[in-house]
Amino acid sequence: MAQFLAYANSNKATQKLFPYLLDIQSNLLDELRTTVVIPLCPVLLAGATVITKLCPVVEIESRKYLLLTQQIAGIDRKTLGKKTCDLAKYRQEIMAALDFIVSGI
């Protein structure tokens, strides 16, 4: 599995609010059963007060989504849906959001 791939959210209870899950775990840990993901929320469903450094905007199929870094989670790889797209071009913004949530910088 490649780091920064977005997957369709296969959980019917949450897929409207979080249609995609971004796999952020290092490729070096591909042998683990679990992976670390950040849910993506359509910008239109997000509240007005968004911390942009924590929640960068990415684009998938011409639609804008927020990375909800504060809702980072570990999940079983088997629950990931279909591979949707590679968001590696947003690597700098994603890593800055992770650094911000851990160090506040």
Structurally, the chain folds into a number of domains equal to: 1
pLDDT tens, residue order, the chain (105 aa): 689 999 999 999 999 999 999 999 988 898 889 999 999 999 988 777 778 899 999 999 999 999 999 999 999 999 999 999 999 999 999 999 999 999 988
Q: What is the pLDDT of residue 13?
A: 95
Domain CATH code at residue 21: 2.30.30.110
Query: Which residues constitute the domain of residue 18?
Result: 5-103
Strand partners, 23: 37
Predicted TM-score (pTM) of this structure: 0.93
Residue 7, C-beta contacts closer than 8 angstroms, at least 6 positions apart = 20, 21, 22, 23, 37, 80, 81, 82, 83, 84
